[in-house]
């Protein structure tokens, strides 16, 4: 399992998993896109450079997801997959693959932003990286 959607009284959350921190960021990005739009029709054919930094892993995760949200809403891009090329404690960079948004990418929810509310980055019982992030909808 790459990710799951978490129910919350006022917002919506995502829980993502990865074998390393880079894979965790990629799967969290996929989860965010899945909350915003239908993803089945996305053709991950065009590369979009994406990078983020933060003071720690938690703020890096929030900033990474805000960059994903910028592409999805601000640039109107449907992102289908993420390829991390450089991941450090406080910086990550790579490519997001997708295509311009069209009517084929039906909207689901409007996400206003990524929050720090109940934010967690941790190692799960099976030793995979895990994060829990809530989104302001």
Tell me the pLDDT tens digit for each residue of 49-87. 999 999 999 999 999 999 999 999 999 999 999 999 999
Q: What's the mean pLDDT when you consider all of the chain?
A: 93
> Is 80 exceeded by the pLDDT of residue 25?
yes
> Is 70 exceeded by the pLDDT of residue 6?
no
Q: Please compute the mean of the pLDDT values over residues 19-23 and round it to a whole number.
A: 96
Q: Quote the CA–CA distance of 80 and 100 in Å, as a whole number.
A: 11
pLDDT band at 11 (very low <50, low <70, confident <90, very high): confident
pLDDT band at 3 (very low <50, low <70, confident <90, very high): confident
Tokens of 123: 């190692």
**pLDDT score, position 23:** 97
**pLDDT score, position 10:** 62
DSSP letters along 53-92, please? E-SSHHHHHHHHHHHHHIIIIIS-EEEEEEEEEEE-SSEE
Name the residue among 36, 38, 44 with its Cα closest to residue 82: 44
Q: Please compute the mean of the pLDDT values over residues 83-98 and round it to a whole number.
A: 97
The topology under which CATH files domain 3-136 is Archease, Possible Chaperone; Chain: A; domain 1 (3.55.10)
> Is 70 exceeded by the pLDDT of residue 1?
no
Domain ranges within the chain, ordered by starting residue: 3-136
DSSP letters along 30-42, please? HHHHHHHB--TT-
């Amino acid at each position: 399992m790459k990710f799951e959607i978490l129910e919350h009284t006022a917002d919506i959350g995502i829980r993502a998993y990865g074998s390393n921190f880079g894979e965790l960021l990629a799967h969290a990005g996929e989860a965010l896109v899945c909350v915003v739009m239908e993803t089945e029709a996305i053709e991950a054919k065009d590369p979009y450079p994406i990078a983020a930094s933060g003071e720690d892993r938690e703020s890096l995760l929030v900033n990474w997801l805000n960059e994903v949200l910028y592409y999805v809403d601000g640039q109107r891009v449907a992102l289908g997959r993420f390829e991390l090329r450089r991941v450090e404690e406080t910086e990550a960079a790579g490519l997001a693959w997708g295509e311009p948004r069209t009517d084929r990418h039906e909207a689901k929810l409007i996400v206003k932003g990524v929050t720090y509310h109940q934010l967690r980055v941790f190692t799960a019982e099976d030793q995979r990286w895990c994060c829990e992030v809530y989104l302001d909808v």
